[in-house]
Amino acid sequence: MFDLHIYYMEYKKGTLIEWVESHRLDEAGHDVLVGLRPVYKCGIIVEISKQDPKYMAVASCSDGRWRIVNVYHDDIKIISETKNG
């Protein structure tokens, strides 16, 4: 099986990321709901879970609120990386 820990190694505290927070429009198929027109947020990684590194606490740039972002489900893109984390 595929080792997911390699996938998470690039995320560090202080990294500026962008993620899909929601969608403006949803489309229903037979038994599937598909999000269209994603709503993006950006923020800085404040903490990475030690128990499950696919979860991160991120301070949103738009309102300063902390969000829990899931690496696997929230379509994260790195905008700017930190060297020391």
Render 13-77 in DSSP notation, one character per residue.
TT-EEEEEEEEEEEEE-SS-EEEEEEEEEEEEEEEE-SS-TTEEEEEETTT--EEEEETTTS--E
Q: Report pLDDT for 9.
A: 53
Report the distance separating Cα 70 and Cα 36, nearest Å. Answer: 19
| pLDDT tens digits for range 33-66 | 777 778 889 999 999 999 988 899 999 998 989 9
Q: Residue 83 corresponds to which tokens in the numbers above?
A: 């060297």
Sorted by where each starts, the structural domains of the chain and their CATH numbers stand as 5-80 (2.30.30)
Mean pLDDT (the chain) is 81
